[in-house]
Amino acid sequence: MFHKSLTLFLILTVISHVNSQPDNRYDPFDWVLYRQLGEITSITKGFAYIYIGTESGGVVRIQRIGHNLEEPLTTAQGLKSNFISAVHFDRHTGTLWITADDYIHSSHTREGNWYINNIDEWGLPLRTKITRLGSSQNYIWVQTSSGYIKLDHISGIFLGTYTFPDEEYIHWSSSSQFPNFETDKVNEYSMSDGWLAVGSGAVSPNGRNLRVTVFYEGSEGDVVLGLADGTIFVGDNRLKFLEPLTAGLGNNDVQFMLDKKAFIIGGRFAKQTIGFTYFDPRREIMEIIGYDDHINLTAGPYYCAVRAGDEIWYGGNSMIAVYDEKDDFWRTLDETRGFSGQIITDMEADSEFVWIASSSGLTRINQSSKRSNPIGFEKIFNHIFIYDIELVDNQLWIASDYDLTVVNLSNERVLNFKQIGSLGNMAGIEDVLSGFKVLEQFKDEIIVSSKQGIWSFDYNTQTWSELVDASVFAGREIFALARFKKYIFLATNDGFIRYDIKDRFIRDYHYEFLGQIHDMKVDKKHLWLGTSNGLLKFKWTKD
């Protein structure tokens, strides 16, 4: 009987271990997910890192020496959820323990290879929640809303429930559920960058009063303070000085990534959305451009952005936010400026005008006057959903569901795509093409998605050619695409595809943490994905 029970336990343990990994082909940080953090919930100190649990952004990792950000631990590393109620580092074993929703994770590598236990299997009262984690010399202790749980600190085996622990010395990690600091303690510290500690909170440089959720003072001088909006302060207890650190995005549903090396990120609006995000991945620097911190910047969903001279235009719902980088000034344009459409789907800019594509048509806005300045052909697209536009060599490409139009802005000539250059191997099927949704310029080509395949128009040869046969994406809807040399990446309504145009090799990616992909950017090392789950970085050359 003992041997049967032991065998069953080992089988369940192995299954739990295998299921904890997204894909064993990858190293832990080949996939990295960046999200909005929400409230800081828990803090613990390891050998090399400080681990910070968050409400929606997984576990933030900060180097103890230098206080630099490292990649976070999220569902991309195998966690069951990005909602972290407790983190704890057991110094006796070197194991990191993480509670994500109703699952307790443990890992000796502290990066992946998680052993996962579901607390629902322990016979606890209904809706029991874990509030903090701690450890003694031989055990892991879990405090819940209904009592205490003892676990073996090596195997994680469940050893029983207790009304109170049967050990006196337990080292508990800091938790937002058990604030163990006094207001006067926080006020002993000075804050940089215009922040001010006031009572049980902190006031931002823009006057927002934010609650302190967790305060951690380590035995070796490390000090970390977490706020309700996800702001983290790090310092030491000798200098009594704290510096703010932004480790998450301003929103979770990323619709666009502007620029190539350092991104400006925005997306849909939710209850906890703070604003846009500036992210420089080379230096691991994040800055949030908060809606509440800037006059004339209207909160809301934003779907696209474009640079127009010294300005950045952000397209939202029946409005456009314009930021003047030179004068550091925001303004919001509404439909009284002459554009229409509840959803601004895309924008393109030349030296004088910004073209606005929307769910109900196309508009040209003068950059100086910020008012509509139509040519005349725009009325052709009244009440038509425009999915994408691309401005190439003074030609405006316009993609709608059943038509692909090219407008020569020099002579205002409006042409159907079939009238541009030579049809090449498109000949014979050009009349059945439909579902034009994504346009992307690549070198001297413009790439077009349709239900019947992915096509390329070469400006040098003035010829159409098929890049990807429709069988590659098997009827799935294309939402975004990006190309690097012979590889093309296609975001669909079910993950994404990497296709080798030369060798015709297909690799399909389906992971729950991907969410719905809205935008893509690729370089020689990484693929960046703007998704409904946040911003993803993928080391695509690993495959």
Question: What's the DSSP call for residue 12?
Answer: H
pLDDT at 482: 98
Q: CA–CA separation, 466 vs 416, rounded Å?
A: 18
Pairing outcome for strands 174-175 and 232-236: unpaired
Q: Which residues of the chain fall below pLDDT 50?
A: 1-19
Q: Cα torsion for 491, 495, 498, 499, to the nearest 10°? A: -80
Segment holding 412, helix H or strand E: none
pLDDT at 16: 46
Contact 498, 509 (CB under 8 A): yes
Q: Whole-prediction pTM value?
A: 0.93
pLDDT at 199: 80
Pairing outcome for strands 139-144 and 69-73: unpaired
Backbone angles phi, psi at 336, to 5 degrees: -65, -15
- Which three-class secondary structure string do you get for 166-217? CCCCCEECEECCECCCCHHHHCCCEECCCCEEECCEEECCCCCEEEEEEEEE
Task: With CA atoms as reference, report the closest residue to 260 among 532, 534, 538, 527.
Answer: 527
pLDDT tens digits for range 313-364: 999 999 999 999 999 999 999 999 988 878 999 999 999 999 999 999 999 9
pLDDT at 21: 60
Largest separation between any pair of C-alpha atoms in the chain: 87
User: Tokens 């993609």 appear where?
Assistant: 399
pLDDT at 238: 84
pLDDT at 198: 86
Which residues, 6+ apart, have CB-to-CB distance to 541 below 8 Å?
A: 524, 525
pLDDT at 518: 98
Q: How many helices (H) and strands (E) does the chain have?
A: 3, 48
pLDDT at 341: 79
Q: CA–CA separation, 388 vs 344, rounded Å?
A: 10
Q: How many residues does the chain have?
A: 543
User: Tokens 């990323």 appear where?
Assistant: 254
Task: With CA atoms as reference, report the closest residue to 503 among 534, 472, 538, 478.
Answer: 472
pLDDT at 13: 46
Q: Categorise residue 485: left if φ over 0, alpha if ψ from -120 to 50, beta otherwise.
A: left
Q: How far is CA 156 from CA 8, 44, 168, in A?
A: 15, 19, 20
Backbone angles phi, psi at 123, to 5 degrees: 70, 30
| Tokens read off for 211 | 């609650």
Q: What share of the chain is helix, strand, coil (3-state, %, to 5)?
A: 10, 50, 40
pLDDT at 20: 53
Q: Categorise residue 343: left if φ over 0, alpha if ψ from -120 to 50, beta otherwise.
A: beta
Backbone angles phi, psi at 140, to 5 degrees: -105, 135
DSSP string for 496-526: EEEEETTT--EEEE--GGG--EEEEEE-SS-
Q: CA–CA separation, 169 vs 200, rounded Å?
A: 28
| Tokens read off for 408 | 């020569």
| 3-class DSSP state of 303 | strand
Q: CA–CA separation, 534 vs 33, rounded Å?
A: 7
Q: Which residues pair with 323 in a beta bridge?
A: 312, 330
In the chain, the domains with their CATH numbers are 2-245 (2.40.128.630), 262-384 (2.130.10.10)
> Which contacts of 7-12 are long-range, i.e. CB under 8 A and separated by 24 or more positions?
9/157
Q: Is 13 exposed, middle or buried (0-12, 13-18, 19+ CB in 10 A)?
A: middle
Q: How far is CA 44 from CA 53, 97, 173, 214, 244, in A?
A: 9, 10, 5, 11, 18
Q: CA–CA separation, 263 vs 530, rounded Å?
A: 11
Task: With CA atoms as reference, report the closest residue to 303 among 266, 270, 260, 340.
Answer: 266
